[in-house]
Amino acid sequence: MDTHYILNRLALKQPVIEDYQQLFAIAKPFIMGSESEYGVGQDVDGEPVLDFARLPQVLLNGGEVYHDCGHLEYASPEVSNSAGLVACYEAGKVFCHREKFSHQLFCNNNDWEGNTFAAHENYFTKLPRSQWHRLVPLLVARTVFAGAGWQTNTAFLISQRALFISEVESENTTQRRGIINTRREPLGQVEGYDRLHIICGDATMSEVATFMRFGIVALTLELLELNAFPNIQYDMEFAVSDFQQISRKISDWWLKGITRGSKEALVVLDSIVLRAKELFAGRDFVTNVLLATLEDTITRLGRNPRELTGRIDWVTKLKLLELFANDADGDNPEWLKSQDMAYHDLDPETGLYWFLRDEALPNLRMERLLSNAVIERATFEPPKDTRANARGKIAKFLKQTRGRMMAGGNMWNRIMVSSYHDLADREIVDVDEPTPNPFNPYPEVVERVKAKLKMAIG
């Protein structure tokens, strides 16, 4: 599949990936996952409305939904590449809306009242912790295509998250948040690997923006692991201010922290993508799509960011808000903020994003990475090449036989079945199977657990 074909599909607003099996067309797995904190509807007293009785749940796709600090959180299953990540990220939106855990759900970061909702990223990497700081200029610069856009009372920002990041590195996720999160929570045991947890990213709605947001981090980590990362020299004293300054501009982005070479954010991004292209181009289908999309995006951002309406969330949202400004309420900040929020509404009947994806005129319509069929399949089928395979298949068996898998805590590292009952409502002994390796789909664990439970049922 050549670059022309990929970019033409995007331009026509046609899915690049229509076959579910293409999600596994990779030469080298790179384990990653997402955690989406969805804002929920409120009652007349302003309290969050959430169906606590059905939470937490382990899902058929190997992910999990649970309650956390007044919001609904969806943790995707572990996936082996950035296209699979998008499938499971989108599946979370579809599933959680369909299940009606709240009468309203929003995939965004802020509500203008001081409440924030994160869009966490997880990467299983061999890069030593002592080298994680080298990601900082990339994480700051990628805001230009990974920002979700935010209409404040006084200005439009390209990032919802940037103003809430105050540190370069931090263990905290609710206060004094860092560009690099250093909390130790590996959730896997493979020698030489660690879990990198990133909390500084925006809650993207665009499939293509999400693909680039995760994909460029995975490529960067691979380059760093190979000691092939470009020689980007950066003064960390400028990191937070660079992040926030980039958020305030819709073009001409600079990183003041760069101490050698060009300070332009697009030049920094381009150097990373070009090095990744030198080493990884042609190795597999997903990588080819990612490199072509990143390269085209960086080029067009330098030429005219508005060309990327329908691909980048902040560009698309800005275009919408400018159109709305011509309406009767266009000079009302509260009305504009309500339209900003509507963009992130997970209800296809009321959410602006879904209208742009499925019904808008071509000049406003969202580009598609995946077909609806691929996303739908990702709601009920786990990735077959990670340990989520075992979790999802056992969850399916339990759903058919009245059992329940334990959720939360260490459920990523093991398969735990609790309060399993037979047809006579007799409780069966719990099951506990370790699954320490995210790269292993554990088919033997699936068969062993199913056999044990079938025997218990009799």
pLDDT in tens, 62-79: 999 999 888 899 999 999
How far is residue 156's CA from residue 83's CA, in Å, rounded to a whole number?
Answer: 30
Least Cα distance to 21 among 409, 370, 424 occurs for 370
How far is residue 85's CA from residue 82's CA, in Å, rounded to a whole number?
Answer: 5
Given a cut of 60, whether residue 188 has pLDDT beyond it is yes
Query: CATH code for 3-376?
Result: 3.30.590
pLDDT at site 30: 98
Query: Is the distance from CB of 409 to CB of 427 less than 8 angstroms?
Result: no
pLDDT at site 59: 95
What beta strand segments (E) does 177-328 contain?
178-181, 194-198
pLDDT in tens, 305-315: 999 999 999 99
pLDDT in tens, 138-159: 999 999 999 999 998 889 999 9
Query: Is the distance from CB of 370 to CB of 87 less than 8 angstroms?
Result: yes
pTM: 0.95
pLDDT at site 361: 85
pLDDT at site 170: 83
How long a stretch of residues is the chain? Answer: 458
How far is residue 146's CA from residue 86's CA, in Å, rounded to a whole number?
Answer: 14
Count the neighbouring beta carbons within 10 Å of the beta carbon of residue 92: 29
pLDDT in tens, 18-56: 999 999 989 999 999 999 999 999 998 888 899 988 999
Given a cut of 60, whether residue 348 has pLDDT beyond it is yes
Q: Which helix (H) or strand (E) holds 106?
A: strand 105-106
In the chain, domain spans: 3-376, 387-457
- In terms of phi and psi (left: phi > 0; alpha: psi -120 to 50; beta: otherwise), the region of 140 is alpha
pLDDT in tens, 361-397: 888 999 999 999 999 999 999 999 999 999 999 999 8
